[in-house]
Amino acid sequence: MDAQPDPKATQRKVIHIDCDCFFASVEMRDNPALRDVPIAIGGEADRRGVIATCNYPARAFGVRSAMATAQARKLCPALILVPGRMNVYREVSAQLMAILEEYALQLEQVSVDEAYLEIASHLNATDIAAQIRLRVKEELGITVSAGIAPNKFLAKIASDWNKPDGQWVVRPDQVDAFVRELPLNKIPGIGPAMEKKLALYKLFTCEDVRQWPLTDLVRLFGRTGATLYERARGIDHRLLNLERPRKSLSVERTFAQDLSGEEACIGQLGTLWERWLERVERSGWQPAALAPFVKVKFADFTQTTLADSHEQASVGGFERLLKLALQRENKAVRLLGIGGRLPDVDRSQMTLF
């Protein structure tokens, strides 16, 4: 008899967010002339360069990540090679994760362009994924795809189902049908070598694996066999990998056009405040128990953060902090953020830092 997913696991709502050709998307955003031509980020062929990523026009020629640049140029002679700007990619990645944190009960960042978030069971995960995708497009100028499912494995598979700039949902009652015909090479961790080994036993899909008892799979494939047994049934008990406990809740907004002057910045507080309150409500924390802080990033990418443990986490409190922060630099503003820290943080270290 097939093992059934843990009932508790089916109540989980996991969203996997995956950027669409991340590095290339940032380059196309910053240089519109690159949007409709094949481009790749990587090293030059004469230096044994390798492609880090490429856009979809380049993929149409067969160019892929981890491919040697020399091979990529043979496939696509018109390929435009961009050296890459890791400092910019890290900046955009941080902005992306800040958006995801606003919706997540728990967040696991896998890489600069990929993350899992788990949301409260009473929320509509489909709507939240759509909100995230829209905000990322409007605020960061790039696109992401989303997979929504009861666990990490299914969410990751689903995020690749409707790329680019799309999303796919696997509901608990759809899990069985979704995984039955799934090729085994879609399972994370099943690489070309293992795929060939599985093929020797005529194992190509999850349905094929279901015909085998757990003992035989473990005997032949070890730990991978045990994982295959579960994944072939849509089972994944892994929790999100949290590097550190959350000590603060914040929201921020990157503006398509820089803000000039105190009045323009203060005018954004109302929207930030409403979003922050929604996030605090989802967390179960109380605004009055949090020490407020504001974050300002200027047009030249310098930034300042200001906090005061004696100030109130209120519209008025945030406004007073923001005015003080803006006095530090007379520059246009590209990002504003507000937040609050938990009481167990050492307040003596955060007053007006």
* Residue with tokens 């093929």, as numbered in its chain: 199
- Which CATH topology does 181-231 take? DNA polymerase; domain 1 (1.10.150)
CATH 3.10.310.10 is held by the domain 7-21+87-173: no
Residues 6+ apart with CB under 8 A from 127: none
Cα dist. 258→47, 131, 300 in Å? 39, 23, 10
pLDDT tens track for 30-76: 999 999 999 999 877 666 678 989 999 999 999 998 888 889 999 99
Q: What are phi and psi of 154, to 5 degrees?
A: -70, -35
Q: Is 18 assigned to a binding site?
A: yes
pLDDT of residue 352: 30
* Whole-prediction pTM: 0.70
304 strand-pairing partners: 296
Domain ranges of the chain: 7-21+87-173, 23-84, 181-231, 248-349
Q: Is 176 assigned to a binding site?
A: no
Q: Which amino acid is at 198?
A: L
Active site amino acids = 114
Check if 7-21+87-173 and 248-349 are the same fold: no
Please state which architecture CATH assigns to domain 248-349: 2-Layer Sandwich (3.30)
Does the pLDDT at position 247 exceed 90?
Answer: no
Strands (E), 55-157: 80-82, 106-111, 114-119, 144-149
- Which CATH topology does 23-84 take? MutS, DNA mismatch repair protein, domain I (3.40.1170)
pLDDT tens track for 209-220: 999 999 999 999
pLDDT of residue 83: 87
Mean pLDDT score, 6-25:
82
In total, the chain counts a number of residues equal to 353
